[in-house]
Amino acid sequence: MPEIEKNKIDLELYFPPSQVRGMTKLDKTAFKKIVSIPVLKVKKEMVNKLVKSLKKVLLQRPGIKRVIDDPKDEENKLVMLDPYKIISEDSFEESEHLLLKELNVNPEISSYSLELTYENFKTEEILRAVLPEGQEVTSGFSRIGHIAHLNLRDHQLPFKQLIGQVIIDKNQGITSVVNKINTIDNIYRNFQMEVLSGEENMITKVRENNYTYEFDFSKVYWNPRLSTEHSRITEFLKPGDILFDVFAGVGPFAIPVAKKDCTVFANDLNPESHKWLLHNCKLNKVDQKVKIFNLDGKDFLQGPVKEELIKLMGQPSKGKKPSVHIVMNLPAMAIEFLGTFCCLLDGQSKSRELLPIVHCYSFSKADDPAKDIQQRAEALLRVSLKGCSSVHLVRNVAPNKEMICITFQIPPSVLYENQPMNQEKQFLKAENLEGPPFKQQRRDKTLVEKQSQNLSQT
């Protein structure tokens, strides 16, 4: 067999045939292609040692055996090599030449005609070959149990069924592919979707941070990209602390916190989320530690939250009281609820120990998202948060759109009464609450504020 010349290598070696361009209904047979692959002839008894030692230059393609029988000599095997790394025997490194010599393997490279089929191409390769040339290719998706969730662009819609089928074929355990067909714009945080391929069953099970959640994905909100954020907030709480989860969903904050022997009050307005929250608390064996409500966020704050805070204030002091945290994860509108804290405990005796820590999520399209979120929060609370708040970048949602979490301890002038600003400062100083809040966590070198001491320790 002739030696493979470097200038004859097909730069699109693993690119599907051109005739699949524009295909909207998947035809797997159209993806067959013959390519030339460099091979080494190796004695059978030497194959295992050779393969182990030449691992980095072997052919790496799904569904292709790297060692095959030599049709011309039953005593030999053919070992397939990566055509982008090995062109001729001169392509081997010195250490590889020494190995070949030690194993008495002829370094001469031969060519083998390999048939590639649909099964051998990767998802992105297939979609790049099918979709209009130069257009963006979607191969990524959010996985929610057996469901793959896509957000297709307009130019991808004519190929949606094909895209769905390819994702099912190439990802073990995915049995349904859905596409979001509108934005999350209703009070229940779920969205309309269409099934592109596979089964219609939307009841799924996911594992996140060692906890199990079951729910109907078509009726509740779930975002697998928030697992790190769920853990980050959970770390703030210590055993015995109290969490009020205003927009609890199916429990990704409430359940891990309850497992830490904290008391949790979890609320969601969506009846479906409320149902699955009850189910998941039982599933994870924390149903005795979580009190669950089905209320509007404002009603939850003005009702159960206020009632529990007053109860805590009335309890006799037996050492340090637990820290109280309030999570508000409804980024499209949660910040609008901050005004509810104004005078929430008006008329009550000011507690020197009971100032809840709020973790409020919001979206921002501003050039300075941290400043934008803080200013919006201050406008609603009618008090400055400078020096007593921390802003954390959660994730980039879309170009020029960030998801932000602002955390602060509710100033006493907000919670108890509208005091003038100078009185607020005096109270903070008296309670030793002035100064930096808790240590700001970062992601990807994003510096939102200077590091400071954990507020929960103040």
Q: What is the pLDDT at residue 455?
A: 33
Statement to judge: residues 191 and 111 lie in one domain: no
User: Does pLDDT of 188 surpass 80?
Assistant: no
**190 φ/ψ angles, rounded to the nearest 5 degrees:** -105, 170
Q: 303 and 444 in one domain?
A: yes
pLDDT of residue 450: 33
Per-residue pLDDT, 170: 94
Please tell me whether residues 330 and 392 are part of one structural domain.
yes
pLDDT the model gives residue 452: 31
Residue showing tokens 């992105």: 124
Q: Which residue has the higher pLDDT, 332 or 418?
A: 332
Q: State the pLDDT at residue 291.
A: 98
- CA torsion sign for 260, 332, 278, 302 is positive
Q: Average of pLDDT values for 127-153?
A: 90
Convert the pLDDT of each residue in 225-283 to its tens digit: 999 999 999 999 999 999 999 999 999 999 999 999 999 999 999 999 999 999 999 99
Query: What CA–CA distance (Å, rounded) separates 115 from 103?
Result: 29
> Is residue 78 scored above 60 in pLDDT?
yes
Number of domains in the chain: 3
When the pLDDT of each residue in the chain is averaged and rounded to a whole number, the result is 86
**pLDDT grade, residue 10 (50/70/90)?**
very low
pLDDT at position 270: 94
Examine the domain organization and report whether 99 and 144 are in the same domain: no
Higher pLDDT, 9 or 386: 386
Share of the chain above pLDDT 70, in %: 85
pLDDT at 189 over 50: yes
Q: Is residue 25 part of a domain?
A: yes
The amino acid occupying position 440 is: Q
Pairing of strands 176-180, 147-150: parallel
Give strand pairing partners of 395. 403
Q: List CB contacts of 186: < 8 A, sequence separation 6 or more.
A: none
Please tell me whether residues 321 and 373 are part of one structural domain.
yes
Q: Is the pLDDT of residue 196 over 90?
A: yes
* 295-353 pLDDT tens trace: 999 999 999 999 999 998 877 766 677 899 999 999 999 999 999 999 999 888 777 67
Where does the pLDDT of residue 391 fall: very low under 50, low under 70, confident under 90, or very high at 90 and above? very high
Give pLDDT tens digits for 356-388: 999 999 999 999 999 999 999 999 999 999 888
295 in the same domain as 361: yes
Residue 1 resides in a domain = no
292 strand-pairing partners: 266
Q: pLDDT class for 198, splitting at 50, 70, 90?
A: very high
pLDDT score recorded for residue 205: 97
Of 92, 120, 148, which residue sits at a domain end?
A: 120
Is there a single domain that holds both residue 13 and residue 68?
yes
Residues 230 and 309 in one domain: yes
- What is the radius of gyration, based on Cα positions, of the chain? 30
pTM for the whole thing?
A: 0.80
The whole-number pLDDT of residue 68 equals 92
Q: In this structure, are 69 and 194 located in the same domain? A: no
Write out the residue range of the structural domain in which residue 76 sits.
6-120
Q: What whole-number distance in Å separates Cα of residue 330 and Cα of residue 16? A: 44
Domain-ending residue, one of 86, 120, 154: 120
Q: Report the pLDDT value the prediction gives residue 381, as an integer from 0 to 100.
A: 95
Find the mean pLDDT for residues 78-106. Answer: 89
CA 191 vs CA 151, 194, 218, 320, 408: distances in Å: 12, 10, 7, 44, 31
The reply to whether 335 and 395 lie within a common domain is: yes
160-169, 238-247, 438-447: segment of lowest average pLDDT: 438-447
Same domain for 113 and 144: no
Strands (E), 412-452: none
Which CA distances in Å does 148 have to 22, 163, 164, 169, 250? 23, 11, 9, 12, 19
**Residue 439: band (very low, low, confident or very high) from pLDDT cuts 50, 70, 90:** very low
Side-chain half-sphere exposure of 372, counting CA atoms within 13 A:
15
